[in-house]
Structure 1
Amino acid sequence: MASTKRPAIAGNSSPAQKKLDRERALTAGMAEMRVAAEKQRLKSEKLRQLRLERDAGLPAKKKPAARKAAATGLNLAETQKFAKK
């Protein structure tokens, strides 16, 4: 962080100095946010790359089994018997 010299008594600062101090604080805060965002982006990219490497070694996923066609015109007992199969 960049250190800024501040007067010992804040009440004696001129309005121009206060404005300059606010701008410096805002600029420093924005710089910190940029650094944090860049770190997060690098971390996310690294994790994404690790996931891709991990997934490349896994076998391909199997397709789910086809569902049986719904039987129509059955009464309740036949439907329950069919559901057990």
Structure 2
Amino acid sequence: MPEQKISLTFDNPTMQDFFRKWCQFKNVYEKGKAEILAIKEEDKRQEELDKLNAPQEEWKLRAMGTTIGCHTIVKKGTEDNTVRVYDLT
């Protein structure tokens, strides 16, 4: 079965920019991950994977035109019906 491809085109410059940056980020991430997975020492490998994964959430927020610290997460407690607010700053 031949490989099938799907193509999407966006007229919106913001979407074009987002996907261009996402592809660049993903390529760098995958290359870094492949190099890290080649590390034989398990502790060192995990430490490097943690370092690689840490900036992903920040990148996602920045790519969406936001930054860390301008969002608040609200979680409703299940046991005592309390609401907890977490600031990402």
TM superposition score category, shorter chain reference: 0.3 to 0.5
Say which structure is richer in helix: 1
Higher gyration radius (CA): 1
What TM-score do you get using the length of structure 1 for normalisation? 0.34
